[in-house]
Amino acid sequence: MASEKPIGLFDSGVGGLTVVREMFRQLPQENLIYVGDSARCPYGSRPVEQVRQFSFEIMDFLVEQDVKMIVIACNTATAVSLTEARVRYPVPVLGVITPGSRAAISATRTERIGVIGTEVTVSSGSYAREMHRINPRLQVVSQACPPFVKLVEDGDLDSQETERIVRDYLAPLQHEMLDTLILGCTHYPLLQPVIQKVAGSKVQLISSAEETAREASFILAEKDLLQTDNPAPVHRFYTTGDAAHFTDVAERWLERKVEVRSLSLGIK
């Protein structure tokens, strides 16, 4: 019983497009609906309850669109809404934190893992908790990097000023002898070149985007929901922010034309 229904994804803005790009690559036949909540971005410095409300408002919208699966393509929203969402909705809901955690456990050789993310994600302790459930011996150190999301939303990916900011925020991790660093925010893979340069070539960066697409593939296969024989998949993009700006970022990152619609959400 393969399913032609779309997969629904959302993020606080353009960060979740890193997951979309991986979905294109790893699940090229799936129909997708993406919501980027740029008007209310960033989520990462907001009160938890507000992020929770925003997340459920968007997931309700996706379920109304009859999606077969929800991917919370945002670490902050995953940290505050995944557990509840899995009970609330009749479709599988996948976050980005457990895939990134499992990938880091698989990648590390020294059992010293770093996590960078938004303030909400880091203070939730979700990554460390998830990894310690599986392996209590792991050393996990975290660092919140509040300005990174705005750099990405503004498209400021490789200036000298960006490198200086990245260097400042990674400085506390430089003496931790990490061999693996989790990019614990879906915006961060767009900064991957500068983060890799600052962290050094010996540190393996884990992109939640790549891992999440892989686990989505796995869940769809397990539940017999994979879309096969669909050479012309439909991808719909919605943004609550400026559609022209979103289109610009999306087309550069996804390397294809996209049609972006405006979406108005109630809670401000």
- Single-letter residue type at 68: K
41 is a catalytic site residue: no
Measured from the CB atom, the residue of 7 and 226 that comes closer to a copy of itself is 226
The one-character DSSP state at 228 is -
> Contact at 8 Å (CB) between 74 and 16?
yes
Q: Which DSSP string do the residues of 69-82 spell out, in sequence order?
A: EEEE--HHHHHHHH
**Between 102 and 112, CB nearer to a copy of itself:** 102
Q: Which is nearer to a copy of itself, 11 or 215 (CB)?
A: 215
Q: Name which of 166 and 213 has its Cβ closer to a copy of itself.
A: 213
Q: Which is nearer to a copy of itself, 42 or 99 (CB)?
A: 99
Q: Which of 67, 74, 140, 191 is catalytic?
A: 74
Residue 68 near residue 44 (C-beta atoms within 8 A): no
- Rounded to the nearest whole angstrom, what is the least distance from the CB of residue 31 to a copy of itself in the complex? 14
200, with CB counted inside 10 A (0-12, 13-18, 19+), is exposed
Phi, psi of 142 (to 5 degrees): -125, 155
CB of 224 to a copy of itself, least distance (A): 11
Write out the two tokens for 201. 């070539």
74 as an active site residue: the answer is yes
How crowded is residue 153: how many other Cβ atoms within 10 Å of its Cβ?
Answer: 22
State the nearest-atom distance from the C-beta of 131 to a copy of itself, in Å.
11
Positions in the binding site for a copy of itself (CB under 8 A): 22, 25-29, 98, 102-103, 105-106, 133-137, 210, 213-215, 217-218, 221, 226, 228, 231
Burial class (CB in 10 A: 0-12, 13-18, 19+), 248: middle
Determine which one of 94, 185, 190, 199 is catalytic: 185
- CB 5 to a copy of itself: min, Å: 17
Q: Parallel, antiparallel, or unpaired: how do β-strands 180-183 and 112-117 relate? A: parallel
What does the longest C-alpha to C-alpha distance in the chain come to?
Answer: 52
CB of 98: closest distance to a copy of itself in angstroms?
7
Cite the active site residues: 74, 185
